[in-house]
Amino acid sequence: MAEIIVSRLDLPKEVVSKIGIAGPGFINFWLAEEQLSAVLPVILRAGSSYGRSSVGKGQPVNVEFVSANPTGPLHVGHGRQAAIGDAIAALLQWTGWKVTREFYYNDAGAQITNLGLSVQARIQQLRGRDAAIPEGGYHGDYVRDIAEQYLARHPEDPEGKDAPAVRRFAVQALREEQDHDLRAFGVKFDVYFLESSLYTSGKVEQTVKRLDDAGHTYEKEGASWLRTTDFGDDKDRVMRKSAGKGGEYTYFVPDVAYHWTKWERGFRRAINVQGADHHSTVTRVRVGLQALEVGIPQGYPEYVLHQIVTVMKGGEEVKISKRAGSYVTVRDLVDQVGQDAMRYFLLMRKADSHFVFDLDLATKQSEENPVYYVQYAHTRMAGILRTAGTTAGAVTADGVDLSLLTEADEQELMKHLAEFPTLVERAAENLEPHRVIAYLDDLARLANGWYHRHRVIGVGEAIEKARLVLVRAVQIVLANGLNLIGVTAPERM
RNA sequence: GCGCCGGUAGCUCAGUUGGAUAGAGCGUUGGCCUCCGGAGCCAAAGGUCGUGGGUUCGAAUCCCGCUCGGCGCACCA
């Protein structure tokens, strides 16, 4: 069979130099060496754009991530989400999508009430009175800090009696703190969407009305229900609690209202990055959108769920619990291991994998972080160009005989460089930024190995020129890949 | 009980959509600085890919059972 295929093939010799049959199901083609080196001028010409494509055709896509409740500082799980979400957004931009990075604040509801009550309790304690943090309240030190700040800024309310004012103040303070930490991590959002705006704009009411009109709701035991089982949910969901339970909407309603606004804002594609502990919301949000009957497709929005981050310190697990108040924050990690290493670490594993963040290793032995390996390969390429007396911008493939790059490891290196655009497309398509890390690690390994086996400078002008082109191409691809995942590509280290 | 996600080297994890002899980092062992930057390179040891079936010329990858671990199954968010 293979012999028949091979005998009927008629491929140009300058592209395929050799064809061979090897075992069951395999026909080997040997690419002519000149074909591989053809990628180098392409890379130099594209520069920082090498790897970009337009498969997204400029279509809008909304990427929602972090979306932490303003009830405490960001923890390491949010950090993982920030790294993954930002990298996915970048991958989509690189492949031609028009990306909006969005952060959703749950600034309404019971938890905010609890936050306010917690701060009020701390205010009482500061005044020397007995006061307990309420059930479901927040115990972290930051609550006391906020209490102190409130007293300092609001002399007109020394007892903290003005609950709405305390609540507003606490939410504002925590939002500022979260924004500050995200900036320190290098993440920027285009849109901050407030849950409370869904109430003030009437979107929540509109959503309820729409669900009623579509005939999917009913009253039972004093509560208002949505018949989500019509759309494949395993049980119906309460929309509005009974009077005895407070009579408010459950979080489910604003969630649906919120995602409806995404659709109405023109996002025919929406991606949510969330912790896997929230995966039960996936079905509910989708089902709720179906029940609106406004033409939203079943798989909307898409979800990237990441597993929980476990932080190890001193051989023991550090519990992550916002309610308990003792957990590792994004700020702690950025301060200790730096933005580059933290981004790289948090992206190394695919989102589906549990992630064990060894704080001791990441802090004490930060010099051995894998991120330095890749960055070092980049500075090494920069170093060669410096020693050669040229600059990155001055290197050109024009008039250079690239067919001199015949070493086996040079061929392999060029093959890898040529695969970068496909890698970016695949990573974007699958929403898997960790693939970029694996690629960069491979490329750095190939480049470092090649560097040690062959000299660039002082091996004859023609070969030196050809190898400088290769060096520059490697540098470009390393820089582009690092840039893509939010890690710097230093000229010197 | 039901659902989702995992189980790959001592440890932490990849594995390019089903291909050839399963890879990397860290750790262990042994080499390499007269040399463009040693945050580096080369080599060795280390594997029943949780387990039992199935599909296929071919399975870590796809299907089913079992098992272990994590998470989720509210008129909480």
Residue-wise pLDDT for A102-148, tens only, equals 999 988 888 899 999 999 999 999 998 888 888 878 888 889 999 99
Give the CA distances from residue A240 to residues A155, A251, A278, A279, in Å, rounded to whole numbers and listed in that order: 38, 9, 21, 22
pLDDT in tens, A461-491: 999 999 999 999 999 999 999 999 999 999 9
The answer to whether residues A3 and A49 belong to one domain is no
Q: How far apart are CA A321 and CA A325, in angstroms?
A: 6
By residue range, what is the domain housing residue A14? 1-31
On the question of pLDDT at A249 being above 60, the answer is yes
Q: Label the pairing between strands A302-306 and A270-275.
A: parallel
> What average pLDDT does the structure give for chain A?
89
pLDDT band at A23 (very low <50, low <70, confident <90, very high): low
pLDDT at A409 over 70: yes
Residue nearest B37 (alpha carbon to C1'): A380
In a domain, A384, yes or no: yes
pLDDT average, residue stretch A48-61: 95
User: What is the complex's ipTM, to 2 decimals?
Assistant: 0.93
Domain-located, residue A386: yes
The SS3 call for residue A360 is: helix
- Write out the H or E segment, with its range, that includes residue A373: helix A370-387
- Give the nucleotide with minimal C1' distance to the Cα of A438: B14
Nucleotide nearest to A112 (CA to C1'): B77
How many domains does the structure of chain A reveal? 2
> Which nucleotide in the DNA or RNA is closest to residue A458, CA to C1'?
B36
| pLDDT tens column, A220-240 | 989 999 999 988 888 899 999
- The C1' atom of B12 and the CA atom of A52 lie apart, in whole Å, by 32
Name the residue closest to the C1' of B69 by its CA: A354
Structure token digits, residue A179: 């924004």
Cα dist from A436 to A206, A240, A410, whole Å = 43, 45, 21
Nearest nucleotide to A239, CA against C1' atoms: B75
Calculate the angstrom distance between C1' of B24 and CA of A313.
24
* CA–C1' gap, A359 and B62, in angstroms: 38
Which nucleotide is nearest to A252 if distance is taken from CA to C1'? B77
Least confident of A24-28, A40-44, A49-53, A130-134: A24-28
Long-range contacts of residues A380-387, Cβ cutoff 8 Å, at least 24 apart: A380/A447, A380/A448, A380/A451, A381/A447, A381/A471, A381/A472, A381/A474, A381/A475, A381/A478, A382/A475, A382/A491, A382/A492, A383/A492, A384/A451, A384/A456, A384/A457, A384/A468, A384/A471, A385/A468, A385/A471, A385/A472, A385/A475, A387/A457
Spacing of A270 CA from B38 C1' in Å: 47
CA–CA–CA angle A295, A190, A62 (5° rounding) = 25
Protein residue closest via CA to C1' of B36: A384
Instruction: Give the closest residue to A207 by CA, choosing from A245, A251, A272, A266.
Output: A251
What is the spatial distance, in angstroms and rounded to an integer, between the CA atom of A418 and the C1' atom of B40?
A: 25
The CA–C1' separation of A427 and B17, in angstroms, is 12
The answer as to whether A327 is a domain residue is no
Q: Which of A60-74, A111-125, A302-316, A479-493 has the lowest mean pLDDT?
A: A302-316
Residue A477 lies in a domain: yes
* Each residue's pLDDT tens digit, A182-232: 999 999 999 999 999 999 999 999 999 999 999 999 999 899 999 999 888
The number of CA neighbours under 13 Å toward the Cβ of A331 is 9
Distance A426 CA to B21 C1' (A): 27
Scanning every strand, the nucleotide with its C1' closest to A493's CA turns out to be B39
Q: Return the pLDDT at A324.
A: 43
Q: Are residues A37 and A25 in the same domain?
A: no
pLDDT at A328: 80
Helix (H, G, I), strand (E, B) or coil at A128: coil
pLDDT of A416 above 80? yes
With a pLDDT cut of 70, the percent of chain A lying above it is 89
Report which residue is nearest nucleotide B32 when distances run from CA to C1'.
A452
Separation of CA A352 and C1' B39 in angstroms? 30
Q: ω into residue A301 within 30 of 0, thus cis?
A: yes
- How many angstroms separate the CA of A128 from the C1' of B11? 50
CA–C1' gap, A70 and B2, in angstroms: 33
Q: Show which positions of strand B are touched by protein (CB under 7 A).
A: 2-6, 12-17, 19-20, 24-27, 35-42, 57-58, 70-77
Domain annotation covers residue A118: no
Instruction: Examine the domain organization and report whether A40 and A10 are in the same domain.
Output: no
Minimum-distance nucleotide, CA of A366 to C1': B39
Q: Give, as one character, the DSSP assignment of residue A470.
A: H
pLDDT of A321: 43
| One domain for residues A25 and A38 | no
Is residue A157 assigned to a domain? no
**Segment A152-176, tens digit of pLDDT:** 999 999 999 999 999 999 999 999 9
The residue lying closest to nucleotide B57, measuring its CA against C1', is A24
Residues A24, A42, single domain; the answer is no
Nearest nucleotide relative to A446: CA against C1': B41
Q: What token pair was written down for A171?
A: 């939410």
Checking if the pLDDT of A311 tops 90, the result is: no
CATH code, domain with A465: 1.10.730.10
pLDDT tens, position by position, A320-335: 444 445 678 888 888 8
pTM score above 0.90? yes
Q: How confident is the model at residue A367 (pLDDT cuts 50, 70, 90)?
A: low
Q: Answer with the residue of higher pLDDT: A132 or A94.
A: A94
| Position A280 in a domain | no
The 10s digit of each residue's pLDDT in A342-358 is 899 899 999 988 888 87
CA of A484 to C1' of B15 (A): 22
Is position A462 within any domain? Answer: yes
**Nearest nucleotide, CA A253 to C1':** B77
pLDDT band at A246 (very low <50, low <70, confident <90, very high): confident
